[in-house]
A and B are shown apart, each in its own frame.
Chain A
Amino acid sequence: MAAMPNSSVDVSVEALGEYQIQEVTLDGQEIYTQPLSMSENLTKLAHKIDFLKEESEEKGKATSEVEKEEEEEKPTPAAFQASLWPWDSVRNKLKAALTEMSVLLDVLNIGREKRYMILDPVNQDSPESKTGMYVVAKKKALQSAASILSAGSDRLKKSQEQMSKRTTPDFHNDLFKLRQKWRLKKVGSNILGDLSYKSAGSRFWQNGTFEVTKSETEYPEPSVNQSPPKHPIHKSALQVTVPSELHGVAYIQVVIKCISDGTNLVTADIDLPSANASIPPDYLWYKKLEQAQNVLFCKEVFAQLAKEAVQSQSPIPHIVVGNQILSHLFPGIQLSIALCHSTGKEKKQGVLPLPSPAKTDQNYVLEHSLHQLLTQVHYRNSYHPMPHPVTALLGMSKRRRLAGPQAYTRSELLDLGHSENLLEKVIKQARHIVIRYRAMSVIDELAQLVQDPQIAAHCSPLSSATEAMIRVCITSLGFEIVRTSFLLHITVDNMRAVCIDDRVIDMSCETQELKDFILGQVAQHHITTVQKLSKIMGWSMLSCASHVGVGEMEGVGTAQAILIASPSGDKVLSIKSGPASGIRVCLQKPRGADSLEYPGSVVTAQKWVNAGGPFHEVHLDKMEGKNFVNKIELLMACLVGEVDAR
């Protein structure tokens, strides 16, 4: 109650006359709590007095905990005996406090005298107990996790066992497997899949849609079926229906043949192993799909090639007949690309003969390149370089992008637009194969033919589909230090030889040119070896001509000659080596004293005794020695020895 001094009206402030609602009954009646009487109110308020509250906060925890326990016991009787004496709880609390104070005082007194009791700092080992707790908690958590995992693995094991035990195929399971490897979609109540390479960038018109159905055929017993040894029975609940045009097996056959004699130089077949196998009806669905996809791929390759063959404007037009494309590589050599598609129902078409096993060396090269070429086309269709700047047109090549700032002329821009198509690339590769085959056969032939200097060829492993490098070394047995070598660079339609003396010779695809060139090199090798040998033997070289202008004309190239004199200078050897005519060795000896006495001799003076006489040919084939260089070495040694003997 508060009274304002300067006002005449007294205002009393007290609690509202409303009682607290204890309960609302279901019919909406409110039951109020009975108001407390004055004494009850006093008891309630007195009960709120707590002397320990602040103390416990200031004091140590140990005592306060004890207090709390006591506290909890006491208020309960006090609440019920409130009507007896309101200060009862207060007295009890004070009493307890007093007891505690006196106990504390006693402890302190005893502790101060240090006779009966010594106060020691207490080790607090609470953190230790805490780590223990953690360990236990973690253990528990791990255990529960482990139990979940082991339960899961048990369930998996069980399901695996069930799967292995199950003999009847499960449609949904198979469908799940199918879905992992092929694109499927549901149209109405049917499940359709896609075989085509469209998602990989193909723009082939034919769509490879197949239908997946639940198979209802009963599988016959293994003893009844004819094929079990070859193909174990694959029970499957799936049935795949592939469009009829993709049935069977297809492959593309590339044949390079000489028109004149009709023999194949090189044959390449795609998928040769399975080419003639027909598909058994109970084939596994995925094999069936793979076969069908291969058919589609081969069809696309052929369609692309045929389109390009028709569109291209080559000097000799390509011929497209039925399922075959004919193209001229070199005069007399034809490339034929054929699509072989056997559906298995009909007999073999017999369009193309089977290649003999000996000639399938190139098999993988052309097969691989054909696959790669179309895959490259697909890749280019689906991946475009990012435009720079980002606002520029999409799909512009880097060179086209630079065309503006580098001010390309009209013709340069036109060249930019032209890119090689599939057929051109295949023809280039085929040409290269032909020309490489020719070069190699020429080298092999000559290596067999020319026995004296050995011809060895090393093919470089660093080659591409249209370029190859062969190093040819010419050496003589026993004189390997002297070596004539040249590099043969084989490109699409010509060869280039780079000699060790910086000469570069370009040759066409004709083998005769290469043959002549190698023979020339062989002739040169003889002269070079003799030249080196004369140095070692102490003979002096009088002259050396790489292109001799006198004597009979060589059928091929020019002859080379060398003139060497013995150390004493009285004997001269003349050696002429021609690519076609071979080697001729002639010896000049001093006239000797006999010549002066020869009747009818014009020269009679003694001083002409040492003058050179006529040249006499040495018959090398009648000489001892393993090879030409060996023979010359012996001859030289002989001639020098003759002088000494004299």
Chain B
Amino acid sequence: MGVVCVINFPLPEGKSGQQTVDMLQKRIETLGATKTGNFVVDCETYQSQQPAPQRVMHVLHNSEHPATAFAILDTGTCLVADNTFDQLIHKLKAFYAPKKNAKVETKGQRYEIGDFIVKIGSVVLGQNISFKGILIEVEYCPCVMPGECWGLMQEFMQGFLGNIIDSPPQYIKDRLNNAVMPSDTVMQYLEFYNNFRKAAGQQQQQQQQQQR
């Protein structure tokens, strides 16, 4: 488990999601990376059924940690628990009900290249599986302090992503001198998921207004 950085790769003009993913995969493969299977990071959102303060809980699974479920409250508290947590939450239906049409999933290929693990995934939201964007996860295994290896990671990412990053993402910036934890990875994913959801919500509102 090394330093993990998750970034959003903006879609170039006039290219579809699949085309962009293919392009990125081609680039990383020409760098000499080897395919090591698929990866999934999924997020289910639950809402508390009590009316007073409406709390939201996100339950995430990362295929890199197959035996673990991460439960994150809207306050940022993260619980790292066994996979059986899903069954527990299923039993607590009366208190926490799953939010409809709020399931987010990132799926894609996992690559290994030297000390780096690169995952290129496309984000899919809701039941109608609408494509939302591309997330790229880069992990540098030998190091656990982001401050120590950010320069190296940035240079590596520039190698196949181009100049889209000039400074570390806010989440990493805040924790440059902390050792990374498994929960940090899913927290970064969750940030992007929340952004995608907000954008989707705004789009819907705009569409509704236009229809009126």
Which positions in A face B, CB cutoff 8 Å?
392, 400-401, 403-410, 413
Find residues 142-199 in chain B having any chain A CB closer than 8 Å to their own CB. Answer: 181-183
Instruction: List the B side residues contacting A408 at CB < 8 Å.
Output: 65, 67-68
How many angstroms from the CA of A480 to the CA of B1 in the assembled complex?
53
Given B63, B84, B183, which contacts A407 in the complex, CB threshold below 8 Å? B183
CB <8 Å contact, A404 and B83: yes
CB <8 Å contact, A405 and B66: no
Instruction: List the B side residues contacting A400 at CB < 8 Å.
Output: 67
Bitwise interface map of B from 62 to 101 toward A, beta carbon under 8 Å scored 1, else 0: 0111111110000000001111110000000000000000
How many angstroms from the CA of A377 to the CA of B67 in the assembled complex?
26
Find residues 35-66 in chain B having any chain A CB closer than 8 Å to their own CB. Answer: 63-66
Q: List 10 A-B contacts (CB under 8 A).
A: A392-B84, A400-B67, A404-B80, A404-B81, A405-B68, A406-B80, A407-B80, A408-B67, A408-B68, A413-B66
Given B63, B67, B183, which contacts A404 in the complex, CB threshold below 8 Å? B67
CB <8 Å contact, B65 and A405: no
How many angstroms from the CA of A409 to the CA of B180 in the assembled complex?
14
CB <8 Å contact, B66 and A410: yes
Instruction: List the B residue with the shortest CB-CB distance to A414.
Output: B66
- Chain A CB within 10 Å — which of B65, B67, B68 has the most? B67
How many angstroms from the CA of A547 to the CA of B44 in the assembled complex?
67
Instruction: List the B residue with the shortest CB-CB distance to A407.
Output: B182
Instruction: List the A residue with the shortest CB-CB distance to B69.
Output: A404
Instruction: List the A residue with the shortest CB-CB distance to B65.
Output: A407
- Chain B CB within 10 Å — which of A400, A405, A407, A410 has the most? A407
Instruction: List the A side residues contacting B181 at CB < 8 Å.
Output: 407
Report the 8 A-B pairs with minimum CB-CB distance, sorted nearest first: A404-B82, A407-B182, A403-B67, A407-B68, A404-B67, A407-B65, A404-B68, A407-B80
Instruction: List the A residue with the shortest CB-CB distance to B82.
Output: A404
How many angstroms from the CA of A413 to the CA of B68 in the assembled complex?
11
CB <8 Å contact, B64 and A405: no
Bitwise interface map of B from 15 to 39 toward A, beta carbon under 8 Å scored 1, else 0: 0000000000000000000000000
How many angstroms from the CA of A408 to the CA of B82 in the assembled complex?
10
Contacts A407-B182, A407-B183 given; does A413 touch B67 at CB 8 Å: yes
Given A392, A404, A410, which contacts B64 in the complex, CB threshold below 8 Å? A410
CB distance from B69 to the nearest CB of A (A): 7
CB distance from A401 to the nearest CB of B (A): 8
Instruction: List the B side residues contacting A404 at CB < 8 Å.
Output: 67-69, 80-85
Instruction: List the B residue with the shortest CB-CB distance to A401.
Output: B82
Instruction: List the A residue with the shortest CB-CB distance to B39.
Output: A410
CB distance from A415 to the nearest CB of B (A): 13
CB distance from B185 to the nearest CB of A (A): 9
Contacts A404-B68, A404-B69, A405-B68 given; does A410 touch B82 at CB 8 Å: no
Instruction: List the A residue with the shortest CB-CB distance to B110.
Output: A410
Instruction: List the A side residues contacting B80 at CB < 8 Å.
Output: 404-407
Instruction: List the B side residues contacting A401 at CB < 8 Å.
Output: 82
Instruction: List the A side residues contacting B1 at CB < 8 Å.
Output: 409
Instruction: List the B side residues contacting A405 at CB < 8 Å.
Output: 68, 80-82
Instruction: List the A side residues contacting B65 at CB < 8 Å.
Output: 407-410
Instruction: List the B side residues contacting A407 at CB < 8 Å.
Output: 65, 68, 70, 80, 181-183
CB distance from A307 to the nearest CB of B (A): 29
CB distance from A404 to the nearest CB of B (A): 3
Q: Beyond the given A404-B83, A404-B85, A409-B64, could you list 20 further A-B residue pairs with CB under 8 A, ordered by the A residue number? A: A392-B84, A400-B67, A401-B82, A403-B82, A404-B68, A404-B69, A404-B80, A405-B80, A405-B81, A407-B65, A407-B70, A407-B80, A407-B181, A407-B182, A407-B183, A408-B67, A409-B1, A409-B65, A409-B182, A410-B63
How many angstroms from the CA of A406 to the CA of B81 in the assembled complex?
8
Instruction: List the A residue with the shortest CB-CB distance to B36.
Output: A410
How many angstroms from the CA of A408 to the CA of B64 in the assembled complex?
8
How many angstroms from the CA of A409 to the CA of B110 in the assembled complex?
14
How many angstroms from the CA of A418 to the CA of B69 in the assembled complex?
23
Instruction: List the A residue with the shortest CB-CB distance to B183.
Output: A407
How many angstroms from the CA of A410 to the CA of B66 in the assembled complex?
6
CB distance from B201 to the nearest CB of A (A): 31
Instruction: List the B residue with the shortest CB-CB distance to A402.
Output: B82
How many angstroms from the CA of A409 to the CA of B62 in the assembled complex?
10
Instruction: List the B residue with the shortest CB-CB distance to A393.
Output: B84
Instruction: List the B side residues contacting A413 at CB < 8 Å.
Output: 66-67
How many angstroms from the CA of A400 to the CA of B82 in the assembled complex?
10
How many angstroms from the CA of A400 to the CA of B70 in the assembled complex?
17
CB distance from A240 to the nearest CB of B (A): 51
How many angstroms from the CA of A403 to the CA of B83 in the assembled complex?
10
Instruction: List the A residue with the shortest CB-CB distance to B186.
Output: A407
Instruction: List the B side residues contacting A406 at CB < 8 Å.
Output: 80
How many angstroms from the CA of A392 to the CA of B1 in the assembled complex?
27
- Chain A CB within 10 Å — which of B1, B63, B70 has the most? B1
Instruction: List the A side residues contacting B81 at CB < 8 Å.
Output: 404-405
CB distance from A250 to the nearest CB of B (A): 44
How many angstroms from the CA of A349 to the CA of B174 in the assembled complex?
76
How many angstroms from the CA of A413 to the CA of B62 in the assembled complex?
14
How many angstroms from the CA of A344 to the CA of B84 in the assembled complex?
58
How many angstroms from the CA of A405 to the CA of B66 in the assembled complex?
11
How many angstroms from the CA of A406 to the CA of B181 in the assembled complex?
10
Instruction: List the A side residues contacting B183 at CB < 8 Å.
Output: 407
- Chain B CB within 10 Å — which of A392, A409, A413 has the most? A409
